[in-house]
Structure 1
Amino acid sequence: MSEHLLSVKKREGIGRGNSRRLRAQGMIPAVIYGKSGNCNFAVAERDFQMLLREVAGATAVITLNVEENQSIQALIHETQRDPLTDRFRHIDFLEVVAGESIHAHIPVHIVGEPIGVKTGGGLLDLVVHEVEVHCLPRNLPEFIEINVSALNVGDAVHLEDLPVLEGVHFDGEPDMVIVAVASPAKLEAATTTAEPEVEAEAE
């Protein structure tokens, strides 16, 4: 598992006024929750954006380097963005403790083009973009890769079909559909069925 570092600064003040001042200085208010207690931080917006590019959409354990030579391992739990500017307004981190199981949402990465799309006119439908797992931090996968090349129209990959990863347990119903190749006729029928409801709401 790759190591990802992020420098953070402790902040004493809280509230909207303090948060606005931080954002005006190019900082993002943040908080970490965990076994060591909750603590408020500020993260340089530029540093956080660089981290996201480095992680590239994967789930990763981040080492937060705090002042006074303190470091905390954490997951990015949630981010809030400004709906107008799309800039980050707040970040929630979740502390990770070595040797203790964690729950995380892992992105699904699709590889290949299904036979059913190439020759059968089917459409690839990624039903679930993330799967929930629990495992020790050292076993945390950055993403779940699914090769869909062999799928024909009507085929699907379920949770129970995902590759076995050492020390990783998938949470959810085994028959939950992750990705499928649907026929255009079925998708068109589903869209047509939904149309009257949309029109009724518009009235």
Structure 2
Amino acid sequence: MAEITIEVVRRERVGKSDSRRLRRADLIPAVLYGAGREPVSIQVPRRVLTDSFKEGGHENRIFLLKLGGTDQTRHAMIRELQLDPIDHRIVHVDFQRILMDQKVRVKVHLELEGVPHGVKTDGGILDFVTREIEVECMPSAIPHEVKVEVSSLRVGDHLEMGAVQLPDGVTYLGSPEVVVASVKHARMEVVETPAAEGAPVAAAATAPAEPEVIQRGKKEEAKES
């Protein structure tokens, strides 16, 4: 994944009012932290940042931040994006410094490839259980996704992470027994057939019993009078 170069400016003032001022000027307040150094408040051009997302999103993308007016540069990754709850525009960005000669831990999406034999031939159902994993690798080796072949799965089979082939230089950090996908039997739904109209109902035959008792009681009262 190619790195994106963005020129940033150090923020001398911080706070809600200054952040609102930056957003009105189409700038995004941000912070750069990590690698054992003090956090630095910066501002990023909104258009430059959002345009970079069109080239494959921001997840696990490496940015080269150039501090305006200096020759200082820092490699970084986005660790958090804060969005406005109404218009979903970016309101703040957290960048984390990374060193290109040190491994990083990132989360990577899994992508299934192929149609399982049990689905295509036996009418089974594919259950995609684990869609994201945590891996460790050098920044230059971060995969965009990990492809998982599932064509050979039959009904009743499942695939665990221990059997997934990862790209060179990428180490999976979870349990090898984590299930990625499985093929299950299709469930048969039992539909109850409603009773036909006009069918006799047992309770209906006994319904008049109480009124008859009442009527007999009235006749007896009449005789006594």
Fold similarity call, TM over 0.5: yes
- 2:187 is matched with 185
The 3-state SS of whatever aligns with 1:55 is coil
The 3-state SS of whatever aligns with 1:185 is coil
- 2:25 is matched with 25
* Residue pair 1:57, 1:107 contacting (<8 A) in 2 also: no
CA distance in 1, matches of 2:108, 2:166: 14
CA distance in 1, matches of 2:92, 2:54: 18
Could you tell me how far 1:86 is from its partner in structure 2?
1.0
1:160 to 162, 170, 184: 162
Deviations 1:46-102 (A, max 9, x none): 222111111246522221222113221111111111121111121111111122221
- 2:41 is matched with 40
CA distance in 2, matches of 1:65, 1:179: 43
CA distance in 1, matches of 2:101, 2:50: 29
CA distance in 2, matches of 1:73, 1:89: 22
Task: Report the TM-score when normalising by structure 2.
Answer: 0.72
Could you tell which deviates more after superposition, 136-145 or 176-185?
176-185
Q: Percent identity?
A: 33
CA distance in 2, matches of 1:157, 1:102: 27
Cα 1:72–1:179 change in 2 (3 A) is farther
Deviations 1:122-154 (A, max 9, x none): 444333332111122233222212223333344
Task: Report the TM-score when normalising by structure 1.
Answer: 0.79
Cα 1:98–1:149 change in 2 (3 A) is same
Cα 1:62–1:111 change in 2 (3 A) is farther
Show the 5 A alignment for 1:55-134: 55-56=56-57, 59-67=60-68, 68-134=70-136
* Residue pair 1:32, 1:95 contacting (<8 A) in 2 also: yes
Cα 1:181–1:93 change in 2 (3 A) is farther
RMSD value over aligned CA atoms?
2.4
Cα 1:122–1:100 change in 2 (3 A) is same
Aligned AA (1:6): I
Q: Which has the higher contact order (CA 8 A, sep 6+)?
A: 1
CA distance in 1, matches of 2:186, 2:23: 47
Cα 1:16–1:58 change in 2 (3 A) is closer
- Contiguous gaps of at least 5 residues in structure 2: 190-225
Paired residues, what number? Answer: 187
CA distance in 2, matches of 1:161, 1:137: 24
* Residue pair 1:124, 1:181 contacting (<8 A) in 2 also: yes
* Residue pair 1:127, 1:179 contacting (<8 A) in 2 also: yes
Could you tell me how far 1:182 is from its partner in structure 2?
4.1
Cα 1:184–1:39 change in 2 (3 A) is farther
The 3-state SS of whatever aligns with 2:168 is coil
